[in-house]
Chains A and B, each alone.
Chain A
Amino acid sequence: MKRVPCSGCSLLCDDIIVRSDGIFIDEVIGACIKGKEHFDQVIAKNRITNPTFRADHTLKKIDWNQAYIKAIELIKKAKKPLLYGFSTASCEAQLKGIQLAEKINGHIDSNSSICQGKIIEKSKSVGLTLTTIGEVINKVDLIILWGANPAESIPRLLNKALFSRGKFRMTGREIKTLIIIDPVQSASFGVMGVRDLSLLIEPNKDIDLIRVLKEECCATDSIPSEGVAGIDKDDLKRLLLHLTGAEYGVIVVGQGLLKPTGDSDTLQEFLELIEMINSRQKKGRISLIMMGGHYNMAGFDHVALANYGQSGSLNFINNQLEETETNTIDKMNNEDFDLSIIVGTDPISHLPANLSSKLMKHPIIVIDNKKSATGDVADLFLPSAITGIECGGLSYRLDHIPIELQKIIDSPNNIPSDEVILSEILKRLTDGGP
């Protein structure tokens, strides 16, 4: 029996017990449905264990040497390569990815840029109050899920945040208030108790609520009588009292709040609200947890920032980092690329069809440990080992705490890790040959 962290999602639960002889995983204890499925990926029936290359409109198996030769050929033909993904790769692989982008004058970005990276970007001007899962367990008395549905995306987050007993919260769930702000009664509403607060906000009205909270956060007697955004006056008053009176509140920010909202800058105003509450709070504070789903989405921001001084959208020209406002979506939308190298993600399934269509016009190299729509249309597919099961590596949890992932078993067919694949491509490019 061995205790290992699970790389099934960004919570990186480090209390998973695995029984293994080093060849097979016989039993996984303590994992959620997503974690269990993640361990099952090892023997998934659709798993690809050989590199494949598209020839005559079909993907054909090739050996690893041929695969690297094909990768180098495609890269050498490209003048504007785009590297994207990296949220389900270790920090070591992410660094190799950025070094590869530097070497080939590419543009590299992670999934974070269309998710939690938006908050990090905004925080540069407003500031950001973060917290850790440990602090949440030990201190929190208020949990707000804003546009977030952890019950389905990060299943054990509420176990740890809401149903836990901590050093200063020995009574556990009884002392913790849960508030959910969402237009839809999601699965997370299922854990609400009588003293919790369910706020079914009207779609796209988050900004109205934030503005009222900003105006009224220290004056609970002047709440608009008609309420706001579908939330009535009494509930609004309760929300305000909790926000301004919590000893240790945490807001879990989900995609529902990260979504673009036209002209208004919801995230900017949301961060201003948090800063405003915290500056006026005498005894407590409100912190944020960003609910990025991929297990190392936070890692890319750290790796890029620590090594290149920029958290995302790194654009290299003449092997130098160039300051640019352009992000990956601009690049794809303007077709400002002639090759894409996709690592551990599936943009063809995740992005709007018109962007996918543009991606498919140019050669695609995919490095991934699972089958995907992008893998199905790729010109070259390089299968990789599953980090946290078949290889180790560093990963950043959703609260930006580094967790070392462990190798449990060997990968089938000795599939190399993302890091090894990227290193080999980089090495062959540096050596000058295929």
Chain B
Amino acid sequence: MEFTLNTIRKVDNDQAREFAFGDDKSLKEKLAIVILNPEDIKQLNVKPGSIVKIYNDTGFVNVKIIQDKKVPLKMAMMPVSIWSNQLTRVINNDLVYKNIEIKIEADDEPILDYKSILQKIKEGS
């Protein structure tokens, strides 16, 4: 299904806090998420807490679904993080971190942990 992705900053999903006070596990738990409208979650045939694959022509990432009825239909929100930045891009030397076209589908592959995603970035894949 096609969605529009917006990266956001949330008090409860703050990477600086997880780096300071948390660990690799809490970093993944708090930041490797996508927030969707419950109606869209139904349409995707998945449940809150399921893992989905999000992709576009920039990259892909697997994250956990969180539901929030305040999120507009067909919009996906992800906290700014090393996970969401697999999908953000540079166009005309400007960072594009909002209103990004993406596709979401159910997936069984696990969410990459912090060290693996750092390695993925290092390898440039």
Contact = CB atoms under 8 A, between A and B. Distances in A.
Q: Do A and B come from one complex?
A: yes
A22 to B, nearest CB: 23
Contacts of B114: 373
B38 to A, nearest CB: 14
Interface string A341-357: 00000101111111111
B44 interface: no
Interface residues of B, number: 45
A34 interface: yes
Contacts of A40: 20-21
Nearest to B71: A184
Interface of B is mostly: mixed
Contact of A349 (B58, B85, B123): B85
B67 interface: no
Contacts of B42: none
Contacts, number: 133
Nearest to B16: A370
A41 interface: yes
B18 to A, nearest CB: 9
Contacts of A200: 72
Contacts of A329: 90, 93-95
Interface in A351-389: 351-357, 360, 370-373, 376-377
A279 B67 CA distance: 45
B118 to A, nearest CB: 6
Given A184-B72, A348-B82, A350-B85, A46 B95 contact: no
B82 A371 contact: no
Interface stretch (A137-145, A243-251, A254-262, A425-433): A254-262
A183 interface: yes
A46 B93 contact: no
Given A184-B77, A329-B95, A352-B89, A360 B9 contact: no
Interface string B71-95: 1100101001110011011111111
Given A373-B82, A377-B122, A183 B94 contact: no
A348 B81 CA distance: 9
A114 B95 contact: yes
B32 to A, nearest CB: 12
A355 B86 CA distance: 10
A48 B8 CA distance: 28
B75 A354 contact: no
A256 B85 CA distance: 17
Contacts of B94: 260, 329
A360 B122 contact: yes
A356 B20 contact: no
Interface string B40-69: 000000000000000000110000000000
Contacts of B1: none
A330 interface: yes
B20 A255 contact: no
A47 B20 contact: yes
B93 A327 contact: yes
A323 interface: no
Contact of A183 (B58, B75, B121): B75
Contact of A259 (B70, B97, B121): B97
A373 B16 contact: no
